Amino acid sequence: MEIPTIQIPPTQTIETISIPLPTAEVPSYQMIIVPPSDLERPEGTEEIKTETETPPPPKLDIPVLDIQLPLPTAEVVATATYAAVAAVATTTLATPFFDQIKKKLQKFIQGKIDKWKEKKSQKRKI
């Protein structure tokens, strides 16, 4: 009597993947040094002005009324122009669509009202 045997192939070695350890850059901050409240300027030094004065906004003189109107800056005028152009363009392009929707809704609602009136008049006849 023969006993069945199974031929198992030889095992293969599987190489493991080496994963490097993660690294991170730790943020560093420069130390802020706050001067004491009783700090005074050393003798023999002069104060340096760091602020630059901005010129006053231009004004429009109206001689008859003796009024000066401040003129807006270029940024304000540009922003207002863009907003106005966008509003006009949107209104101009959207008006035909809204008119069509309005007409269809009016027909639909009028049809419902007519049906309601018809049913109401039929109930009165009965």
Do 57 and 70 contact (CB within 8 A), yes or no?
A: yes
> Could you give the number of structural domains in the chain?
1
Token pair, residue 108, equals 């639909």
pTM, two decimal places: 0.38
pLDDT of residue 126: 66
Q: What is the pLDDT of residues 31-75, one digit of tens each?
A: 888 878 887 877 888 877 777 777 777 888 888 888 888 888 888
80 located within any domain: yes
8 located within any domain: no
Do 59 and 70 contact (CB within 8 A), yes or no?
A: yes
Q: What is the pLDDT of residues 5-18, one digit of tens each?
A: 888 888 888 888 88
89 located within any domain: yes
Q: Where are the beta strands (DSSP E) in the chain?
A: 59-62, 67-70
Domain that holds residue 116: 60-125
55 located within any domain: no
